[in-house]
């Protein structure tokens, strides 16, 4: 395949059919986003299918953005947990036209984004089971100094477990902030920088304060509310208005049909003052475990999910998705 010379811009879709870093055969495009493109690849040595993210050249060639990308890779490579996507490799490569680009190799996820389930309220048991897994993955990340900073439906992928159960995978730690390690005082994400998605942004993110894992707990609280109510706690057409609501408006309570302890749990996650939220994701997970244990069993309900042959990776979605019926535990 002809891709031009090294002075021409790299069109990421042209990478299909090429080999990245002498080991990843590019078989197809999974998705293209603002940061770059994600490809379905095969590791030539191991014969494994993987997902490889390649940065747009105008981003990767920028010194600060390139350093941020390397930081993303180092951040995610610290994580080894069933509810966090695994980063396998990262680095630079030269395409067939001699142009240099940056890549990040991850496990290939077969499932669907949480957003697919949010058109209506979820059964309470299903919602709590998903949030419990999210908190478990976040606890693992926070204990290793990694804050996700952008927890939202698109960054929560649901795959089928070995027994057919729903397994949460937190993806796209691309905006993650390292809280520990050498040079922490000179981190690139500084006070005064707003980072996140308005619908799921914590009050401290809105005003550009330094953040910690409790910002992820707030976003999880927004997701819990949406799962149980079928709508966001704060919604407006103007993103600036949404951020103002996160900062100033009291969150609407969860429905009265739910146990009082669960309603209080949701309210604590959405506390404006982070000092009033759970101290850690592990503490929130442990409290949710107690709430789940105290609930009476629910009748089985049917919902639709994507077929496990649908490939997904952090922040991307396929163009077509098969569907099948499952039972919710």
Q: What sign does the CA torsion over 177, 142, 211, 246 have?
A: positive
Which residues, other chains included, contact 129 with Cβ-Cβ below 8 Å and sequence gap of 6+? Answer: 166, 292, 329
Pairing assessment for the beta strands 49-55 and 87-94 based on DSSP bridges: unpaired
Query: In the structure encoding, which two tokens stand for residue 273, read together?
Result: 């003052």
Cβ–Cβ < 8 Å for 55, 317: no
Distance, CA of 178 to CA of 189 (rounded, Å): 9
**Which segments of the chain does DSSP mark as H helices, in order?**
57-60, 63-77, 124-143, 203-206, 213-229, 239-248, 260-269, 281-294
Token readout for 118 is: 């949010």
Q: How many angstroms separate the CA atoms of 195 and 203, rounded?
A: 12
- Select which of 27, 62, 89, 150 is catalytic: 150
DSSP 3-state of 71? helix
150 classed as catalytic:
yes
Give the 3-state DSSP-derived string for 149-198, with helices as H, strands as E and coil as C.
Answer: CCCCHHHEEEEECCCCCEEEEECCCCCCEECCCCCHHHCCCCCCCCCCCH
Q: List residues with catalytic annotation.
A: 150
């Amino acid at each position: 395949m002809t891709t031009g010379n090294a002075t021409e811009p790299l069109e990421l879709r042209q990478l299909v059919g090429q080999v990245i870093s002498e080991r990843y055969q590019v078989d197809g495009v999974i998705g293209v986003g603002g940061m770059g493109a994600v490809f379905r690849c095969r590791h030539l040595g191991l014969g494994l299918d993987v997902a490889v993210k390649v940065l747009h050249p105008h981003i990767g060639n920028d010194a600060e953005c390139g350093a941020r990308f390397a930081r993303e890779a180092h951040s995610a490579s610290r994580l080894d947990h069933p509810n966090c996507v695994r980063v396998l490799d990262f680095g630079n490569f030269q395409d067939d036209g001699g142009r240099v680009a940056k890549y990040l190799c991850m496990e290939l996820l077969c499932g669907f984004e949480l957003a697919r389930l949010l058109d209506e309220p979820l059964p309470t048991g299903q919602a709590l089971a998903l949030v419990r897994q999210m908190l478990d993955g976040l606890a693992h990340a926070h204990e290793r100094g990694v804050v996700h900073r952008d927890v939202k439906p698109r960054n929560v992928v649901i795959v089928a477990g070995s027994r057919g159960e729903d397994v949460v995978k937190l993806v796209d730690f691309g905006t993650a902030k390292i809280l520990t390690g050498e040079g922490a005082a000179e981190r690139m994400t500084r006070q005064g920088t707003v980072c996140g998605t308005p619908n799921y942004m914590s009050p401290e993110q809105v005003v550009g304060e330094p953040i910690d894992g409790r910002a992820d707990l707030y976003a999880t609280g927004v997701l819990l509310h949406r799962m149980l109510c079928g709508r966001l706690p704060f919604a407006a057409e103007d993103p600036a208005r949404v951020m103002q609501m996160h900062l100033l408006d009291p969150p609407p309570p969860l429905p009265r049909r739910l146990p009082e302890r669960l309603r209080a749990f949701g309210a604590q996650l959405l506390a404006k003052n982070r000092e009033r939220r759970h101290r850690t994701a592990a503490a929130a997970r442990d409290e949710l475990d107690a709430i789940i244990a105290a609930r009476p069993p629910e009748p089985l309900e049917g919902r639709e999910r994507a077929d496990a042959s649908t490939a997904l990776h952090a922040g991307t979605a396929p163009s077509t998705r098969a569907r099948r019926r499952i039972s919710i535990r």
